[in-house]
Chains A and B, each alone.
Chain A
Amino acid sequence: MSHTKGIKPMSESYKDHDPDAGHAENEQHIVSPKVYFIIFLSLLLGTLLTIGASYLEMGPWNPVVAIAIAVVKATLVVLFFMHIKYSSKLMKLTVGAGLFTFMVLVGMSLADYISRAWGQW
């Protein structure tokens, strides 16, 4: 990159875009063991909650509660164990866009099955 930059007129903005300067969001962030341990305990707590919730009679809400707890646990894993909380905007956007596409695909499939025999369940 820096080799081709010289062809363009030198300007003040060039300095702002110096690739060697480094951007704060790109710098390696080391997550501390303390954070990992808190997340580990939270995941254990979530597991206990979801097992406990499965023994309560909540009718159609049983699966909803189970999936909600699983989503919270997965979010903790993605943000902290997988470092997305400390990653660049590019990574956050990529993961977010992927999950959004996933939700659209699953959502539309399920919407089709729910609406096809509407009222006949």
Chain B
Amino acid sequence: MSDSHAVAAANAGHIAGQIGEHSDGHEDHPAYLRHHFVSLEQQNETASFGMWLFLLTEIMFFGGLFTAYLIYRNWYYPAFVAGSHTLNIFEGSLNTLVLISSSFTMAMGVWCAETKRQKGLVWSLIATLILGLGFLGIKADEYHEKYVLHHIPGSTFSSQGFIHPSEEALKSGEKPLAADMAAKTEVYFSLYFAMTGMHALHMIIGIVLLCGMLWKATRGAYMDGNISFVENFGLYWHFVDIVWIFLFPLLYLISRHQ
């Protein structure tokens, strides 16, 4: 008998004990703990780890758009300043407030799930849903204003408002742009729609997932400690909030004073 066999024999009792405990039934762990995980902590951490890897790819994706925005802003600076001045700073600020509040209600939802408060979870998710829809509503109003002003890039786009600013705009210090620079405001609005549009798409996907989660929560889901979905949805929702935290100052604010 080799040494390793001897060791194996010596350990046999220990192993049998472990396997026995495990196959005895599932009293020692909840049904949602998958067998390839050692513990619930490991399973939860694995799920969050995967979610974070996905969010990091999302950061790279939005980061590319932000980099493009910064470079083009440097190239066509007067056009970007003039384009930025047409955005509604009140609606932008209001949307920031709405989205930060929805992040807070979502964080409270995660807390309610962790502490097994069903009513609290349902109400937190409803609040998050209403705030998310409110954000999209305000965004839609802003998009409508762009439509009215012919600021949507494409065949209907018009840069006339930048070549011949209105009396009101001239009074508030707006300077008329030369025709070739005014045409570059289309680049500003292309980036504006690409960035806020991708952000809004993420919000819409989030709201769809949120509706499904809310429906399940009203039927008593997530009260058995299996809250991985709530936590990882929370990560996604907060990420969308972070994107807006950068979009708002870059699109609306930094050219305000020029």
Q: A residues touching B (Cβ–Cβ < 8 Å)?
A: 1-3, 6-7, 9-10, 19-20, 22, 26-28, 30-33, 36-37, 39-40, 43-44, 47, 50-51, 53-58, 62-63, 66-67, 69-70, 73-74, 77-78, 80-82, 87-88, 90-91, 94-95, 98-99, 101-102, 105-106, 109-110, 113
Contact = CB atoms under 8 A, between A and B. Distances in A.
A81 B41 contact: no
Q: How large is the interface on B (under 10, 10 to 19, 20 to 34, 35 or more residues)?
A: 35 or more
Tell me whether chain A's interface is mostly helix, strand or loop, or mixed: helix
A20 B39 contact: yes
B181 to A, nearest CB: 16
A36 B254 CA distance: 29
Contacts of A74: 242, 245-246
Interface of B: 4, 7-8, 10-12, 14-15, 18-19, 38-39, 41-42, 44-45, 48-49, 52-53, 56, 59-60, 63, 66-67, 70-71, 74, 89, 93, 96-97, 100-101, 103-104, 106-108, 111, 114-115, 234-235, 238-239, 241-242, 245-246, 248-250, 252-258
Contacts of B257: 54-58, 62
A17 to B, nearest CB: 11
Contact of A78 (B11, B66, B107, B242): B242
Given A9-B7, A73-B245, A82-B235, 18 more contacts: A2-B18, A3-B15, A6-B14, A20-B39, A28-B114, A33-B108, A44-B100, A54-B249, A54-B257, A62-B253, A74-B242, A77-B241, A81-B107, A90-B45, A94-B56, A95-B52, A99-B56, A102-B63
